[in-house]
Amino acid sequence: MSVPVPGGSIEDWLNELKLYQRNTLNGILLSNEPEKAAEIWITSQGSDIIVHFGGTHDTKPFWDRFRQEFRSFICDDNAYTEEKKALSAEGSITKTLLISVVSSAIGATIGYSATLLAPAVAILLCVVGKMTVNAYCKNG
């Protein structure tokens, strides 16, 4: 079951987020392409002056897992079927609803807060909306 992803500019998608998320992402997007901005958001470790528990921390595997789950949600007809059924029952799918459902579903799968995933999800949904679901899924 395919999920329709509405088009729109990056600003349209970011307007669905909380102000602090939007402001941070706008700053990141000044010098990065959208997908890189999503990666930066997801792999952010907070302040550079704080030493993280356990020393160095590699966030690349987390980004890879997040992208894999996002791609599954969008491209795999057999993944997240209940969430996709619920979306299709809504009739009109708004950007806010889509961001929320995708963030919640992926967050439950990878054990991460939907609120923290929402900005990266919004950016990736914008990318999908610009190129269409079929093109995104074929782009590997």
Q: Is the pLDDT of residue 14 over 80?
A: yes
Indicate the pTM of the whole model: 0.88
| Residue bearing tokens 């991460």 | 112
Structural domain count, the chain: 1
If we measure between CA atoms, which residue out of 132, 123, 90, 139 comes closest to residue 6?
A: 132
The pLDDT score that the predictor gives to residue 81 is 95
Does residue 2 belong to any structural domain of this protein? Answer: no
Cα 69 to Cα 110: distance, rounded to the nearest angstrom: 8
The pLDDT score that the predictor gives to residue 50 is 44
pLDDT digits (tens, 9 = 90+) for 76-131: 999 999 999 999 898 888 999 999 999 999 999 999 999 999 999 999 999 999 99
Task: Write 53-62 long-range contacts (CB < 8 A, 24+).
Answer: 62/110
DSSP label at 80? S
Higher local confidence (pLDDT), 2 or 134:
134
- Give the structural domain span for 112: 10-44+57-138
Does residue 1 belong to any structural domain of this protein? Answer: no
The pLDDT score that the predictor gives to residue 52 is 47
Does residue 24 belong to any structural domain of this protein? Answer: yes
Residue 81: CB atoms within 10 Å: 11
Q: Mind giving me the DSSP string for 14-50?
A: HTTS-HHHHHHHHHHHTSS-HHHHHHHHHH--S-TTS
| Summary mean pLDDT of the chain | 89
Does residue 114 belong to any structural domain of this protein? Answer: yes
Cα 19 to Cα 17: distance, rounded to the nearest angstrom: 6
